Structure 1
């Protein structure tokens, strides 16, 4: 991977708009050219991070998702930001959609109408053997016409067969915990789960 200098990174951030950050700094920024910059602040040991950088894993996951017909960002470049610390990044074309969490905040009735299609989408992921540990309403985008896509797909495993019932329950529990942790009020989780069982 190529190395992006500190000056180039600063230029991107200065001219773009930071969309997500934490105590370690910016995580996602929208750039002037329409691409998104994603920065991976890894907690892995630098040696492991250099062997298998987060940006490369993210790119691999997006490619595998699109290969099986699931909408995901299109990564156009991966690079090192600080190779000594295993800090990597990528540029990608964002999906043209709205997160389910944002949609629920803006229009709960519209979200409720989408629950059967959303449940079928999640069940499709599980049937395809996709275990997405970061499965929550902020990482599922509604793309229109009852279609959905995934973002922030670094923490993902591709199994050779459909997920077991235990893994399905565990994955859905991640979704429930996110709702409580982020205090997403009024989301009809019970209806979503009922729709999942019927789909």
Structure 2
């Protein structure tokens, strides 16, 4: 598939939100939309055939089809001029004085964000009531029933929208199956949810218990599965991977 090229015009008055040693990663555009940059991580990678930007766009479309609130894709651009993603952003005059470095397998996705606040933000503001925790448990059960295995599932990537719905952001790292998740995959999903230790402590044991109970009820787990999930959660919370 051929993509339009990213130009300096697309970046006018944009604000750098995130960067790393390779350059700019995320830009906010004047209208509030975002431009997210996807670079090839490894020289020998399947991403040369089906890249992270393409997955990001595909996942957004699939989530919309499943009725899961998420970001809205505006466009995907191929990036061939490294000057456009240098930090700080170069003016047109400065760019003409700088040698261009050709890029390959680098794309920029223009998308509208999902409005609302992340559950991490609400937790930090002490605005995460028990009914919202129960809603979260039911939401995760809904994702699993719809075949969504979100590897970046954590409170910072789940948004409460103004309409009171829960939705997902930062959706590049996921698999969406045409069947409900197997129980083992569901356990791995909860492992992802609990992996950030700094989130575990303020969330509190009572909230984790409430979340799991809500999930078990919504997912209609067997008594054996419910017991297994509770034991696994105790282990995950005591031994987070990060």
Give the shorter-chain TM-score range.
0.7 to 0.9
Matched, 1:155 2:173: yes
Q: Deviations over 1:105-142 (max 9, x none)?
A: 0124x343301111111100000011111111111100
Q: Tell me which residue corresponds to 1:68.
A: 66
* Structure 1 residue 183: Cα displacement: 4.7
Matched, 1:133 2:174: no
Q: Name the CA distance, whole Å, in 1 between partners of 2:165 and 2:25.
A: 26
RMSD, matched Cα: 2.2
Q: Deviations over 1:51-84 (max 9, x none)?
A: 2232221111100100111111111110112484
TM superposition score normalised by structure 2: 0.72
Q: Name the CA distance, whole Å, in 2 between partners of 1:41 and 1:102.
A: 28
Q: Name the CA distance, whole Å, in 1 between partners of 2:14 and 2:208.
A: 36
Q: Tell me which residue corresponds to 2:113.
A: 94
Q: Whose strand proportion is higher, 1 or 2? A: 1
Of 168, 172, 185, which aligns to 2:201? Answer: 185
For residue 56 of structure 2, give the secondary structure of its aligned residue in structure 1: helix
1:44-83 matches, cutoff 5 A: 44-45=42-43, 48-82=46-80
Q: Name the CA distance, whole Å, in 2 between partners of 1:185 and 1:195.
A: 20
Q: Tell me which residue corresponds to 1:3.
A: 5
Q: Name the CA distance, whole Å, in 2 between partners of 1:22 and 1:111.
A: 36
Q: Deviations over 1:3-38 (max 9, x none)?
A: 214x457x44xx233333344333222210221111
Q: Tell me which residue corresponds to 1:117.
A: 135
Say which is worse superposed, 37-46 or 86-95, in terms of deviation. 37-46
Give the structure with higher Rg (CA).
Answer: 2
* Structure 1 residue 47: Cα displacement: 6.7
Unpaired segments ≥5 residues, structure 2: 81-101, 219-242
Given that 1:17 and 1:30 are in contact with CA atoms closer than 8 Å, whether structure 2 keeps it comes out as: yes
Aligned length: 192
Given that 1:131 and 1:157 are in contact with CA atoms closer than 8 Å, whether structure 2 keeps it comes out as: yes
Given that 2:78 and 2:107 are in contact with CA atoms closer than 8 Å, whether structure 1 keeps it comes out as: yes
Regions of 4+ moved over 4 Å: none
Unpaired segments ≥5 residues, structure 1: none
* Structure 1 residue 197: Cα displacement: 1.2
